[in-house]
Amino acid sequence: MKNIILTFALIFTASAISLAQYGSVGTTDARSMGMGNTANAVSKSVFSIGINPANVLHSDETINFSTLLPIPSVSAKAGTNFISINDYNYYFGGVNGKARILTESDKQHLNSLFSSGGLVIANTTFNLFSIVVKADQSVGSFGFSINDVVEGNFTVPHALSELALNGNAQNSIFNFNDTKAEAWWIRDYSFTYAREIPEVNLFSSFGAGISLKMVQGFAFVQSQNVNSSIQTTDQNQIILNGNNEALSAFSADFGVKYSFDSTSDKSSNMGPFPTPAGTGFGIDLGLNASLNNTWQFAFSITDIGSINWNQNTASTSSTGQYTISDLQTASDSVKDKFKGVSDSTGGFSTNLPTALRLGASYKFNSLDDFGTLLLAMDINQGFNDMPGNSTKTRVSIGAEWKPMDWVPYIRTGFSFGGLTGFHWGLGLGIDAGLLEFNLSTLDMQTLVAPNSGKYISVAFNSLWKF
C-alpha cells in the first residue's frame, strides 16, 4: 500500500510540473492557450489533432511537423479552486524563514477557503512527435501524432482544515467523505485523415475529418469509496472510523507491489516507452466550414472510446474502527488496523474524456495600418468527469492580432465555466518562415492579481513548415 501511495503522489506531482487536448478543460497548444483555450475553429495543422481532425486541412504548407527540437511542445496547468497564490504564501510561506503563528482571524479565514470545495488539479500534455501532410485537394490531408497526457484531480476534505486549525475538540465528528482522488498517465498514437467535400455548396469550403487513436495507459488511480471520520469524546478518546476503497493499475516498470503479489522483488525500471498497464481505442470526428474566407465554423466530438486496464490492477480497501486513548503509543496499532489490503480485480475499464466542441471565428483580413485580426469563440461540453474533463460547460473567447509583418502575433482570450472557472490567456507567436514559435499562459490573472489568482499555466511549442 505504501508503494501505491508513493506512486500516486509521483504521478500527481509530475503532472503539476510536466498537444493534443484531452477533455473539455485540459490544456491545449500554446497558440490556443494564449487565446483563452479557444481552439475549435482556429486550430490548424498538427495542433488541431485531438481538437478537430477536420482542421488539419488548415495549413498553407505541404508539410508541417513538430518534434523535440528546437523546443518541445509542452503545455501544463496546476492550481486549486479555493486558495489564491497570495493566500498560499501567507499561510504556508512563513515569516523570515519561520512558521507563521496564526491568529484566530487567520484560522477562520483559512477554514472558510475550503468551503469552496478543496479541489486541486494538475494536467500536462507532452507532444513527442506530430506531422501533417497536405496532399491534393481531391486526396485530402494526413496526420500522425504521439502525445503523453498526465492529469490528476484531488479534493481536500473540509474536515481536514477544521481538525488542523481547531484541534480535536471534545464531542466532535470530523467527516472525510468528500475526499476524492483520480489521476492517470496515458499516451495516444493518433492517425488522422481529413478531406474537403465539394458537394456541400452552402459554404466556400466544407471539410470532414477523423482521428483513430491507439491508447496506452501506464498508470491509473481512482478513489471508489471514502467513508471515514474522526470522532472525539469527553473522555479524551479519539475514535477512528475507516471504510475506503480505490482502484489502481500500474505499468510493471513502476515496480509497484500489492499485498497479494507473490513476486519477492519488484523494482522500478522506467524508460521513455514503459510497458502498458492498459490499452484502448478512441475516435475523434470533426467538421469544418468556411464562408467567404472570413468565417469559420467547427464541430467535433473527441475521445469516443475507453481504456481496458488489465495489467497489475487492484482494488485496495482499508476498513476498521479504532479507539485511541494515548496518542503516543497508538501509532503502530493504527497503522496495523488500517493497513490497506489489495485484491486483484482481473481488469476494469475506464472511459476516455469524451467531449463535444463547437466553435466559430471571424477574420478581419485587412485593417489598413492595423494588420489582421482574428476573433473566435468556443463552447466545450464534457460527457464525463474523467481527468481533464468536466460535465460543466466551458465557454471561451479569444483574439489573435498581427499588427504588421515584423511584429509577433499577439493573442489574448478568456475562458469561463468548466471545472476551474475564469481564466485570462495571453500569448505571443513568432513566424520565422521555416520555423514557428509560440509561448503563452492561461492565467495572466494570477500574475497581475495574485490575491485572486488560483492557477498557474504555461505552454510553448515549435513547428517546422515546408
Over residues 327-362, the pLDDT tens digits come to 555 555 555 555 556 677 778 999 999 999 999 999
Instruction: Output the pLDDT for position 378.
Output: 97
Q: State the pLDDT confidence band at 13, using cuts at 50, 70 and 90.
A: very low
Min mean pLDDT across 9-13, 142-146, 364-368, 457-461 is at 9-13
Backbone angles phi, psi at 328, to 5 degrees: -70, -30
* All three cell numbers of 436: 514557428
Instruction: Extract the C-alpha cell encoding 264.
Output: 519477492
Secondary structure element (H or E) that encloses residue 89, with its range: helix 85-92
The pLDDT value recorded for residue 5 is 43
Listed by start position, the domains of the chain span: 2-82+117-465
Tell which phi-psi region holds residue 300, choosing left (phi > 0), alpha (psi between -120 and 50) or beta.
beta
pLDDT at 260 over 80: no
Q: Choose among 417, 299, 438, 352: nearest CA to 25.
A: 417
H or E stretch including 280?
strand 278-291
**pLDDT computed for residue 157 by the predictor:** 83
The Cα–Cα gap between 68 and 20 comes to 15
Q: Which residue has the higher pLDDT, 322 or 104?
A: 104
Question: What pLDDT digit, counting tens, does each position of 126-163 carry?
Answer: 999 999 999 988 899 999 999 999 988 888 887 777 77
CA 291 to CA 327: how far, in whole Å?
72
Answer yes or no: are the C-beta atoms of 368 and 401 closer than 8 Å. no
Q: How many residues does the chain have?
A: 466
Give the angle 384-386-390 at the CA atoms, nearest 5°: 55
Lowest mean per-residue pLDDT among 151-165, 255-269, 418-432: 255-269
- DSSP assignment string, 8-38: HHHHHHHHHH-----SSSS---HHHHHTTS-
In the predicted model, is pLDDT for residue 4 greater than 90?
no
Q: Which of 174-188, 222-236, 258-272, 383-397 has the lowest mean pLDDT?
A: 258-272
Range name among 175-179, 218-222, 327-331 with the lowest pLDDT average? 327-331
**Rounded Cα gap, residues 292 and 288, in angstroms:** 14
Superfamily of domain 2-82+117-465: monomeric porin ompg (2.40.160.40)
**284/301 Cα distance (integer angstroms):** 6
Top pLDDT among 91 and 30 is at 30
Write out pLDDT tens, residues 53-73: 999 998 889 999 999 999 999
Tens-digit pLDDT profile for residues 17-59: 334 455 666 667 899 999 999 999 999 999 999 999 999 998 8
Tens digit of pLDDT for each residue in 370-409? Answer: 888 999 999 999 999 888 888 999 999 999 999 888 889 9
